[in-house]
Structure 1
Amino acid sequence: SLDLANGPSLEGIAILNIPSIYGGTNLWGDNPSQKKRRKAQKTKKDKDREFSNSSMSSAELAIAVQNVGDSMIEVVGLENIFHVGQVYAGLRASGKRLAQCSQVVIRTRKRV
């Protein structure tokens, strides 16, 4: 489960099953090269699970590959509207990677 109440301050989330949104913007971000992936695995050995108790660690999410054929959904957090604009303009590489999963259940505190 992903506990957003105790995580980073976010104004929005995007649930993606394709690599682009907003006219071609890649909110998940580019995939690192194999060399960078191996280095990240060695240096960040599951040291942090951040605010998720069953999803991938931050290190695993940083190297996770987005693939439209893997039956996985990518969940990306957005700090505010400026964050979206910065990703769209290329000033920031991506949104905040929150999870890569096969299903999503959204629970809110307020009645919708």
Structure 2
Amino acid sequence: MTEQTIPEPVATFIEAVNRHDEPAVLDAFTESGAVDDWGRIFTGREQIKGWSDKEFIGAHGTLAVEEVEATDGTVTVIGDWRSSHANGRSRFVFDVDGDQVTRMTIREG
């Protein structure tokens, strides 16, 4: 695999995920940020935390980045997701506004 350059704030978010730093993951989102996990929507810090506690950080998830594509305001990362909840190649699409994530959408890679 070639070295992938991941734009901010997504690079910092992925680093926080891989070290299981829940506060940093939650702080990466805007106040009204959202996660779309295969069509299930979690909006705001409280809902994102509840989802993450079971399926993301709480499941000791890690993401090995394989592909990155960036366009204006959107960063798509495809990689190998491993956790105690789910495993496999996944596509993470991040909508960003400045230095925060407004939405993270997770689908099959």
TM-score by length of 1: 0.26
Q: TM-score, normalised by structure 2?
A: 0.27
More strand by share: 2
Larger Rg: 1
